[in-house]
Amino acid sequence: MRIQKETKIIIIFLIMLFLNEIILLYILYMANITFTFAYVLATLLGLLSAYLMNIYSPNLNPIIKFFVLPILVIYVMFMVFRFLFPNLNDFGKGLKQYVDSKTENNIHNTGYVEIFPPIFAVFLVIIILLYSGLFNKGANQ
């Protein structure tokens, strides 16, 4: 079975992103930098740069396109965010607390916390049966 060109590009993209994250986490660990909102924004911009380079220059070397460029963009943007927006991480903490509070209030107000686990278990069993093809056996005969 031959792997098509798009599938190869996606596989290379995912491997390079995984390697990028390992290297960036190592850099952050060595520099005593914690996982912050600025890092999340910089990572999203790095992923966007890899995606745009894949679209606008498909003939570029995949090592540069999916490895070198995203690491460079993430590192530079992270340093720019730290220098120009020093309170960005405080905003991220406030945003996280707001989302957590709203989520907890909505879950508490619905009162469905008691019946959600059994419904989730039934849903999970149905998904497993659908993917195993159990429901298709009667239709194919």
Task: Write the DSSP string, 50-94.
Answer: HHHHHHH-TTS-HHIIIIIHHHHHHHHHHHHHHHH-TTHHHHHHH
Q: Which of these, 79, 90, 74, 80, lies nearest to 37 by C-alpha position?
A: 90
What's the pTM? 0.51
Residue appearing with tokens 């963009």: 73
Mean pLDDT of 119-141: 73
Mean pLDDT of 117-125: 78
Look at residue 42 and tell me whether its pLDDT is greater than 60. yes
- pLDDT for 116: 65
pLDDT in tens, 50-84: 889 888 888 888 888 888 888 889 888 888 888 88
Look at residue 31 and tell me whether its pLDDT is greater than 70. no
Which residues have C-beta within 8 Å of that of residue 35, sequence separation ≥ 6? 28
